[in-house]
Amino acid sequence: MTAIPKTVKHPSVLAARIEPYARQEAIRCLSQRFDSDVQLQALYMRLPGTSPLRLILTRGRGISAREGQGLSMRLKGRPDFAPLFMIRQFRCDVNLESLLHPPVVVSRILWDGMEIQIPPRRERPPSPAGIEAASQQSASHSGVAIGKVSIQHAGLVLQPMNPQGLPLRFDIRTLGNGSV
């Protein structure tokens, strides 16, 4: 009987080692992609019950799952503004191998408790010419491939031009292109 090398750890220990790297990469990727200040309260790796030997032999292929909470994005350099985008918690399936060898493959995402704040036009940063073409080019070169997205308990808030006015809020119970 061959002994498992001492360097092999239980999946939960491996997850704890991967979490800081994955959190840092998520913040870096989102900050760069959306040119914003990003905060991520917590990110957890949930590896399915599998043998450590399988994790090593497959280099993480076929193993996925990640959960997080407290994701927010603000206009870069504008901490005085409300976050443009907040997610209370999320769950996504990410191929672990793709974290090391991009593109990162996110097969499914579930956002729960999302809120989008749209500031008045005068407070928005100027949009560069050709933003649609730039957005398509940026998405194709972002290094992330996303499959299905589902959103539960969301809100879209349009801030009024008049600071004394009330914001216009749209509640969205469920939205998505596939079930998670």
Reply yes or no on whether the pLDDT at 8 is more than 50: no
| Spatial contact of 106 and 145, defined as CB atoms under 8 Å apart | yes
pLDDT, average across residues 7-24:
67
pLDDT of residue 10 exceeding 50: no
Question: Mean pLDDT for the chain?
Answer: 77
Supply 116's token pair: 């989008």
Question: What pLDDT is attached to residue 17?
Answer: 73
Digit-coded pLDDT (tens) for 70-88: 999 998 888 888 899 999 9
Q: What is the C-alpha separation between 113 and 85, in angstroms, rounded?
A: 11
Amino acid making up residue 89: Q
pLDDT in tens, 133-148: 444 545 455 678 888 9
Report CA-CA distances (Å) from 84 to 35, 36, 80, 113: 12, 9, 12, 14
pTM of the predicted protein model? 0.71
**Phi/psi at 160 (5° precision):** -75, 155
Type of residue numbered 35: D
